[in-house]
Chain A
Amino acid sequence: DQQVKQNSPSLSVQEGRISILNCDYTNSMFDYFLWYKKYPAEGPTFLISISSIKDKNEDGRFTVFLNKSAKHLSLHIVPSQPGDSAVYFCAARVDNYGQNFVFGPGTRLSVLP
């Protein structure tokens, strides 16, 4: 049973428009969430994170929104660029030992020129 779900396996967006990637989770004990980006033949790289005490965190073109009551978070990329084309993973952590991260299956984003 997946605790972190990304129900859209893929998403295509036109360059310059907004990309919205969604993530849902089931474990109410998750207290910290992260987004990672992965290019082919490379390991995932950290993009942005949010603590459960916040509902929004912004870093340049990337904004993560957290809705705790709905157990839902989203990553907004605006404006989208062709270099953003990658697989995006949502991850969550249970604050037990501080080191157990659970990942979603990923969403493949394609930004079309």
Chain B
Amino acid sequence: ETGVTQTPRHLVMGMTNKKSLKCEQHLGHNAMYWYKQSAKKPLELMFVYSLEERVENNSVPSRFSPECPNSSHLFLHLHTLQPEDSALYLCASSLGRGPSTNEKLFFGSGTQLSVL
């Protein structure tokens, strides 16, 4: 079983739909992240949660709404998306021990989202 699990693996939605992406980590980590990977572009950091508090919001449109109910679960709520939001959405976690610690990210397999 992978340490970071994302569901669903694939999602097709219309622009008026509301859907949610789910992420669960089984690693005992304190920090969780949402990244977006569009075709031929670098991974873009969207949100960071540390100990269930949002510590980073990288100028993401409000049609993306994250939720972190506890340190093991992270959601990304989607509503009124645009076709250009079609991308691979990756969840990640890290120990979250704070600054000056050489941590690494553990990624889930991602949700491939298509907005029609």
Measuring CB to CB, which residues of chain A are less than 8 angstroms from any residue of chain B?
A: 2, 4, 9, 32, 34, 36, 41-46, 49, 51, 89, 91, 95-106
Bound state CA distance, A103 and B106, in angstroms?
14
In this complex, how many residues of chain B approach chain A with their Cβ under 8 Å: the count is 32
Cα-based distance from A36 to B42 in the complex (angstroms): 12
B90 within 8 Å of A (CB atoms) = yes
Query: In this assembly, does B101 line the interface, its C-beta being within 8 Å of a C-beta of chain A?
Result: yes
Q: Given A97-B98, A100-B45, 19 more contacts at CB 8 Å?
A: A2-B42, A34-B105, A36-B107, A42-B110, A43-B6, A44-B105, A46-B106, A49-B102, A91-B105, A95-B100, A97-B50, A98-B98, A98-B100, A99-B33, A99-B55, A100-B56, A101-B105, A103-B42, A106-B42
Can you name 8 A-B pairs with beta carbons within 8 Å? A2-B42, A4-B42, A43-B6, A89-B43, A99-B31, A99-B48, A100-B48, A102-B45
Give the shortest distance, in Å, between A61 (CB) and chain B (any CB).
19
Instruction: Name B residues whose Cβ lies closer than 8 Å to a Cβ of A.
Output: 4, 6, 31, 33, 35, 40-43, 45, 48, 50, 55-56, 90, 92, 94, 96-110
Could you say which of A97, A99, A106 has the most chain B C-beta atoms within 10 Å of its C-beta? Answer: A99
